[in-house]
Amino acid sequence: MLFMKKLITHVRPHLDDICGMWLLKKYVPAFRTAGLSFVSATMKDPGDPNRVFVGLGRRRFDEHKGDIGESAASLVWIFVRPKVKDRVTRAALDRLVLWVRDEDRGMHDLEPNQELLPTTQIRAYFDRHGRNSATLASFGFELLEGMYSSFENSVRLDQAWKKRKEFRTRWGRGVALKTAASDVDQYSYKKGAVLLVLHDTRAGFRHYRASAKSRVNLTSTYRLLREIDPRADWYLHHSKKLLLSGSDVAPDTSISKLPLRRLIDLVRA
C-alpha cells in the first residue's frame, strides 16, 4: 500500500520552517504532492518515513537537537542541494537559505525598516488571516517564490557585471550592460557608477538611468537621439535622469535598435 507523504511542522510556523517545507516540495519529487500538518512544538518524531518533521521532532531537519548555527531551512538545504543541478538556481538558493537561516538566528534584528522584512510580513499575515497555519504556509510559499526570484536576479547581476563596459562622463563614472536581469540601475549605483546605459535583452529596451543623487542631465542626449534615431520613441523623464526607449508600462512604443557602443558615444558627446 502506498502512503501519502506528509510534512509536519509546528503551529504558527516561522519563515524558517516554511522554507524547509518549500524546499522539499519544490525540489524533491517524492514530496511534491505531500500534505502539510501543524502540531504542537512539543511533539516528537516517531520515525515514520512517510511523515517528515521540519523544525521540530529532534531529528534530521530539526536544529533544536543541538545543531548550533543551523536552522530547519539550512538542514533541509544540506539534503536538497545535491539534487539541484542548475548552477544559477543553486547559487540563488544558497543566498536565500543563508538569509533565512541568519534571520532565524537573530542576525537581522538590527536591520532598519523591520516592518518590511519577510518575517514581519509572516507574523502580520498570521494575525490578519484567522491565525490559520495552513493559510500562513501557503502565503509563505508565495513569499519564498518571490524571494527566490530576487536572489536569482542578484546572481545574474553578478554575472552580467563581469561583462560591463566602463566609461567616463562629465558627471562621473558610467557603466554599460547588456542583460536580462532587473534592478541593474541600483546595482550599478552601489558599485560606484552615476550613470547606467542598459540594453535589456529580455524585451530589447534601451535605457539611460542616472542616480537620483547625481548631477546628470540627459536633455542634450535626448535631443541628439531625436535627430539620429527618429523612428524610435524616446522618453525623457521630468527629472532629466531617466531616458528610456521601451518600458513594461508602455508596450506600444517603438524601441530603438541602436547598439550599446553607440548609446555610450551619444551620452559622452
Angle between helices 72-80 and 87-104 (to 10 degrees): 160
Q: Are 121 and 66 in contact (CB under 8 A)?
A: no
Residue 166 has pLDDT above 90, yes or no: yes
The rounded distance, in Å, linking the Cα atoms of 211 and 181 is: 18
Q: How confident is the model over 187-192, as a mean pLDDT?
A: 98
Percent of the chain scoring above 90 in pLDDT: 97
Output the nine-digit C-alpha cell for 72: 530547519
Residue 70 has pLDDT above 60, yes or no: yes
The whole-chain average pLDDT of the chain stands at 97
Residue 178 has pLDDT above 60, yes or no: yes
Residue 1 has pLDDT above 50, yes or no: no
What pLDDT score was predicted for residue 269? Answer: 87
CA distances from 156 to 29, 145, 178, 181, 210 (A): 26, 17, 11, 6, 21
Give the end-to-end CA distance of the chain in Å, rounded to a whole number. 75
pLDDT band at 2 (very low <50, low <70, confident <90, very high): low
Percent of the chain scoring above 70 in pLDDT: 99
Q: Is the pTM of this model over 0.75?
A: yes
The rounded distance, in Å, linking the Cα atoms of 206 and 245 is: 5
CA nearest neighbour of 258 among 230, 223, 239, 216 = 230
